């Protein structure tokens, strides 16, 4: 177990993952959870990150900040996703090594795996084949972060671990209709359909790709579990081990939010990776499994969305 009284830094604390991690640490009695806004420190600026680490000296780091987005955001802004995400891990890992951080967890993403690798995806399939085109730039940035954790461990003996979460959803997600991931986008589309004249919801692609969805509170619980228990160089998948077609996801969200909605598929939008179900055997063998089932998670996320609609849909 890591020391609940030691200073622990959570990067990206305002995002969906960062805010869930802060909630989980506070629930577990951590007394010195350190955070910094983008205005306080731009994580792409090594001097600013160095100055912050020198001033705050965290003993642990949960590095969950990132420039993230769905398939359309990734396909239309590859240069931004590559630049931001490479710098965000390069600066923080260097400062963590230099200031003697005792343990750091870096979060990757399931899109790092080859587009067409066998399913479910085992950690050892990494870099065994070509990436999915719609998010290859982001994937390279995340792979370099994972490799960076291994490099600092090999060269300097740093206890830097990495985890690869599947598609995430939950409170504080990005609900922008262009830049978000599919689950929050459909929650908002079905919600707005309730008051629309045509009563129709447009689903991108063919609805046939399959996706796995993990509630962000489960991810936050897994992050603390790994900080307490996991010391290996090898990255570890974090997911539910279950996936479903986008069409079935849409039907589930429709049944919760707007049962009368008609569905229309826009095949001009990309499907992306056909499937990316993670093999979570190793995590299960360590003793961790998810607790929030998809339908319950969607229902609670929709409740949160309704309570925070103005903020969640502010452009």
Contact residues toward ligand GFB (CB under 6 A) are 70-72, 74, 109-111, 134-135, 138, 167, 180-182, 185-186, 203-205, 209, 211, 246, 269-273
Say how far apart CA 218 and CA 239 lie, in whole Å.
9
Q: Nearest residue by C-beta to ligand GFB?
A: 70
C-beta of 237 vs 273, nearer to ligand GFB: 273
Instruction: Detail the DSSP E strand segments found in 32-153.
Output: 32-34, 60-63, 103-107
Minimum gap (Å) between residue 270 Cβ and ligand GFB: 6
Minimum gap (Å) between residue 209 Cβ and ligand GFB: 4
Instruction: Detail the DSSP E strand segments found in 35-175.
Output: 60-63, 103-107, 160-165, 167-169
Minimum gap (Å) between residue 166 Cβ and ligand GFB: 7
C-beta of 36 vs 82, nearer to ligand GFB: 82
Whether residue 120 has a cis bond before it, omega within 30° of 0: yes
C-beta of 71 vs 117, nearer to ligand GFB: 71
Say how far apart CA 293 and CA 87 lie, in whole Å.
35
Minimum gap (Å) between residue 274 Cβ and ligand GFB: 9
Minimum gap (Å) between residue 167 Cβ and ligand GFB: 4
C-beta of 61 vs 201, nearer to ligand GFB: 201
What's the chain's length in residues? 315
Tokens 């095949």 sit at which residue?
267
C-beta of 134 vs 301, nearer to ligand GFB: 134
Is 113 an active-site residue? no
Q: How many CB atoms lie within 10 A of CB 196?
A: 13
Q: How many CB atoms lie within 10 A of CB 48?
A: 16
Catalytic residue among 9, 60, 138, 152: 138
Nearest to 102 by CA among 227, 279, 248, 232: 227
74 φ/ψ sector (left φ>0, alpha ψ -120 to 50, else beta): alpha
Active site residues: 138
């Amino acid at each position: 177990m890591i020391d609940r009284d030691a200073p622990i830094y959570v990067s990206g604390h305002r995002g969906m993952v960062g805010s869930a991690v802060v909630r989980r640490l506070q629930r577990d009695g951590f007394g010195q959870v350190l955070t910094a806004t983008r205005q306080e420190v731009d994580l792409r600026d090594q001097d600013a990150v160095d100055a912050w680490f020198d001033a705050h000296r965290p003993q642990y780091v949960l590095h969950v900040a990132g420039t993230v987005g769905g398939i359309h955001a990734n396909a239309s802004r590859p240069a931004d996703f590559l630049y931001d995400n490479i710098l965000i891990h390069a600066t923080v890992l260097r400062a963590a090594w230099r200031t003697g951080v005792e343990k750091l967890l870096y979060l990757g993403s399931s899109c790092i795996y080859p587009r067409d690798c066998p399913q479910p995806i085992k950690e050892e399939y990494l870099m065994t084949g070509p990436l999915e085109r719609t998010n290859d730039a982001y994937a390279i940035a995340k792979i370099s972060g994972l490799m960076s954790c291994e490099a600092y461990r090999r060269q300097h003996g740093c206890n830097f671990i990495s985890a690869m979460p599947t598609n995430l959803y939950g409170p504080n997600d990005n609900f922008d209709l262009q830049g978000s991931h599919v689950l929050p986008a459909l929650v908002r589309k079905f919600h707005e359909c309730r008051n629309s004249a045509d009563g129709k919801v447009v689903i991108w692609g063919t609805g046939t790709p399959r996706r796995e969805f993990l509630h962000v509170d489960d991810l936050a619980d897994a992050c603390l579990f790994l900080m307490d228990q996991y010391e290996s160089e090898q990255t570890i998948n974090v997911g539910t081990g279950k996936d479903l077609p986008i069409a079935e996801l849409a039907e589930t969200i429709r049944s919760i939010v707007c049962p009368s909605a008609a569905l229309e598929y826009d095949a001009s939008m990309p499907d992306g990776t056909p499937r990316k179900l993670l093999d979570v055997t190793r995590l299960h063998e360590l003793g961790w499994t998810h607790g929030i089932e998809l339908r319950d998670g969607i229902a609670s996320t929709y409740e949160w969305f309704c309570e925070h609609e103005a903020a969640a849909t502010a452009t």
